[in-house]
Structure 1
Amino acid sequence: MRRITLWLFSTVAAVVLLFSYRTSTNGAGVAETAAVAPVAPAGGDPAPTASSGSSGSSGGKTYTGSVAQTRWGPVQVSITVSGKKITDVAVPTYPSENGRDIEINSRALPTLRQETLDAQSADIDAVSGATVTSDGYIESLQSALDAAHLS
């Protein structure tokens, strides 16, 4: 009788643990973070391009870095340069497949953008919690800087 009681208790405990386990957070927080996702430069086309290049725009030239393939998805940076100064940074391509990607990148990309404008180079720090995106951002940023002949 003691074995049956122990077996029954163990089975019930296992079933309760299985049903209480949360497997995914996809979709959690999507509505509240989607509004702060990074945008393309003013007057620019948010459609990504696959290679480095430049195009004219009012206020300077825009250079698009190569697409950096990361574990969570592609990252691409475009910069607007006036004279020898970076005047704007946009991220037309970044991981946004699920709510967690959107949450991380809505926080990380504005920080990376501001660091780029402050440093005027690719010598910037990665954002904690967004290391993979930061590494892809820096790789694509360096490609755009090379296309603009800046270091």
Structure 2
Amino acid sequence: MRTRATLTGIFASVSVLVIGWQFGAAAISTATSASHGTTTTGTSTGAAPAGTPTTGASNGSASTGTTTGTTAAAGPKDGSYTGTSESTQFGNVQVKVVVAGGKITDVQSLQLTDSGGRSVQISNYAAPILRSEVIKAQSAKVSNVSGATYTTDGYLSSVQSALDQAGF
């Protein structure tokens, strides 16, 4: 009976991943951005005078991304890019993305959720899956890891902020 329940759980997880993949990662990415909010700082080129800084809604994270890289003629810039520290219900999540040859070559977890033993287990389970999927997709637009929604949302938001710095 226990084996049947385990197999049913695995089947349900795979089904969720397949369905999410079939309907496109764009909806997941949009939902992720909407649930966490994003911080945008820059200069306005529209209605406001040039040079006027604009700031979007913040997700409450205190850390900002940092960049170390070289410039390329066009496309993504090679280097290491640290994403923003994303606050989740179970702790902060932050990653560093390595770009070489204009492609994502590595994603390193700098900080994962740590509020309780179960949260640590979930993050340790989800992080390698998310790393692999981001490298394979060359994007933060990948499906959620079933059972690790908060970790996935924080991880992918941090990845996206690093990719934005790299010029993806």
Q: Same fold (TM over 0.5)?
A: yes
The answer for the alignment partner of 1:69 in structure 2 is: 87
Identity %, equivalent residues: 44
Q: TM-score, normalised by structure 1?
A: 0.62
Residue type of the alignment partner of 1:68: E
Q: Deviations over 1:104-139 (max 9, x none)?
A: 111100000000010000110110000011011111
Structure exhibiting the larger radius of gyration computed from Cα positions: 1
Q: Does structure 1 retain, via aligned residues, the 8 Å contact 2:96–2:162?
A: yes
What is the correspondence of 1:1-151 to structure 2 with a 5 Å cutoff? 50-55=63-68, 61-150=79-168
Aligned to 1:88, the other structure's residue is in SS state: strand
Aligned to 1:144, the other structure's residue is in SS state: helix
1:53 to partner: Cα distance: 1.6
Q: TM-score, normalised by structure 2?
A: 0.56
For residues 106 and 71 of structure 1, what CA distance do their matches in structure 2 show? 16
1:51 to partner: Cα distance: 1.6
Gaps of 5+ in 1: 1-48
The answer for the alignment partner of 1:30 in structure 2 is: none
Runs of 4+ in 1 over 6 A off after TM superposition: none
Gaps of 5+ in 2: 1-61, 70-77
For residues 52 and 92 of structure 1, what CA distance do their matches in structure 2 show? 12
For residues 98 and 158 of structure 2, what CA distance do their matches in structure 1 show? 14
